[in-house]
């Protein structure tokens, strides 16, 4: 049975609004997705009926909230094929990468190598720069081919006896390229390296099994997964998390504290200092429940049809340059328009009710790789429709006429 986007979008209250007198066409889900009523209601219900701090209390509200918080951890674990104790809650994908990079500092020596790629989000670049500056590691960069694919031959050539860490996007937020995570992990492990995947985009558009991929670490954020902001997930193999030192100090992450000595809790609580994002975790759990109840294969096919519809309608537009056309890519359209700055394109599209992203998308090395200073980006989600795809093309054509 075909995926019914109209039925699904009815569950997203914000999609009923208008912008500048036009129906909202929200094509910025790669930056942050909208929230279904199930998520909104789960967080509201927690605040209205069972809110208290977690783990520390013995009263009814504390126990109910702790149960809901830890249930969210179990849901996140099941969602990616992990064990419950391998799921660390963070405040986002960015903090998850920083946690791993900080924790690996003691394992690296001057001259050890960290392999990244030109398509990485800044969140998977800057923490490794920090680590390089702290311990003298060397950053190696996997090139991106003209179609937006990762250069796998170059990747293989970069792996060597000094490679200690490989940190790569599972799916590019700019190009839509879906990288072959299982093969990348296998090659990294053959070189003796640990591998981390930034899954913030991929987790939304395809099922992920971290055990099948054999990822050592996998990170994703809640707000792109139809959940709230302020919550992220770090998966780490149990034996690796056990080897990492605490990332922050405070309550909850300790075993015992005396005036002279501190012992630390076991993972995952070792990495969750202080009061955690309780309501956000509950919201993430609701988002996972909601998304898991959908036909994810049908969703992927629906998103791809929307992308193809737009590409076909724009096939003769010589004023448009598309960035990233790798085979099997996700439904992300990054582009530049001849004679127009991406910011101006986005602002004019907004007058037609169409929301897209514009700028460097936190991927400046990738922008330079393709010889542009910025681009506009339309990203399609399960709640977008064919009518919205057409509205986007129509608005884009009118925008181009403004600059012609």
Q: Convert 74-106 to b/e letters by CB count within 10 Å (16 or more is b).
A: ebbbebbebeebbbbbbbbbbbbbbbbbbbbee
Alpha carbons within 13 A on the beta-carbon side of 1? 4
For residue 73, which of 234, 291, 245 has the smallest C-alpha distance? 234
Distance from C-alpha of 57 to C-alpha of 45, rounded to nearest angstrom: 20
Place of tokens 């970069």: 158
Beta carbons within 8 Å of 307's beta carbon, 6+ residues apart = 331, 332, 333, 380
Which is nearest to 97 in space by CA: 271, 325, 256?
Answer: 271
CB 210 within 8 A of CB 218: yes
Q: CA dihedral in degrees (167, 152, 364, 234; nearest 10)?
A: -20
Nearest residue to 276 via CA among 33, 80, 72: 72
Catalytic member of 10, 340, 362, 372: 362
> Is 193:140 a contact under the CB 8 Å cutoff?
no
| Cβ atoms of 112 and 138 closer than 8 Å | yes
Q: Are strands 25-26 and 217-221 parallel, antiparallel or unpaired?
A: unpaired
| 387 C-beta neighbours (distance < 10 Å), count | 12
Q: Which residues contact 272 (CB under 8 A, 6 or more apart)?
A: 88, 89, 252, 253
Contacts with 353 (C-beta within 8 Å, 6 or more apart), sequence order: 18, 19, 20, 21, 22, 23, 24, 25, 391, 395
Are the C-beta atoms of 175 and 334 separated by less than 8 Å?
yes
Give yes or no: 362 in active site.
yes
Q: Where are the beta strands (DSSP E) in 277-402?
A: 320-323, 332-337, 354-355, 357-359, 375-379
Q: Running DSSP on this structure, what letter comes out for residue 137?
A: -
**Residues forming the active site:** 362
């Amino acid at each position: 049975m075909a995926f019914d986007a109209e039925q699904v979008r009815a569950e997203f209250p914000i999609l009923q609004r208008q912008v500048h007198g036009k129906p909202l066409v929200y094509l910025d889900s790669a930056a942050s997705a909208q929230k279904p009523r199930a998520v909104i209601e789960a967080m509201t219900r927690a605040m209205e009926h069972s809110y208290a701090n977690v783990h520390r209390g013995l009263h009814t509200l504390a126990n109910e909230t702790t149960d809901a918080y830890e249930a969210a951890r179990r849901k996140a674990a099941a969602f990616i094929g992990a064990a419950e104790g391998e799921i660390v809650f963070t405040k986002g994908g960015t903090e998850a990468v920083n946690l791993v990079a900080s924790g690996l500092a003691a394992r690296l020596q001057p001259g050890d190598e960290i392999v990244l790629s030109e398509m990485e989000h800044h969140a998977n670049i800057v923490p490794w720069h920090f680590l390089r500056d702290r311990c003298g590691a060397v950053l190696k960069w996997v090139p991106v081919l003209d179609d937006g694919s990762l250069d796998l031959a170059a990747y293989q050539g970069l792996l060597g006896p000094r490679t200690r860490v490989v940190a790569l996007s599972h799916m590019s937020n700019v190009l839509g390229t879906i990288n072959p995570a299982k093969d990348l992990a296998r090659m990294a492990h053959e070189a003796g390296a640990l591998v981390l995947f930034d899954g913030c985009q991929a987790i939304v558009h395809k099922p992920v099994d971290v055990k099948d991929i054999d990822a050592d670490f996998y990170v994703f954020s809640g707000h792109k997964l139809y959940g709230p902001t302020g919550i992220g997930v770090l998966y780490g193999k149990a034996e690796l998390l056990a080897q990492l030192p605490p990332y922050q100090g405070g309550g909850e992450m300790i075993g015992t504290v005396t005036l002279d000595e501190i012992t630390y809790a076991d993972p995952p609580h070792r990495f969750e200092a202080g009061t955690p994002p309780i309501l956000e975790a509950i919201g993430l759990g609701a988002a996972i429940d909601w998304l898991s109840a959908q036909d994810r294969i049908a969703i992927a096919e629906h998103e791809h049809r929307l992308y193809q519809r737009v590409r076909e309608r724009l096939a003769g537009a010589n004023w448009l340059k598309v960035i990233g056309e790798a085979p099997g890519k996700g439904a992300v359209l990054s582009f530049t328009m001849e004679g127009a700055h991406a910011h101006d394109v986005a602002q004019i599209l907004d007058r037609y009710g169409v929301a897209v992203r514009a700028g460097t998308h936190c991927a400046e090395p990738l922008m330079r790789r393709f010889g542009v200073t910025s681009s506009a980006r339309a990203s399609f989600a399960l709640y977008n429709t064919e009518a919205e795809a057409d509205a986007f093309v129509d608005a884009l054509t009118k925008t181009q006429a403004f600059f012609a």
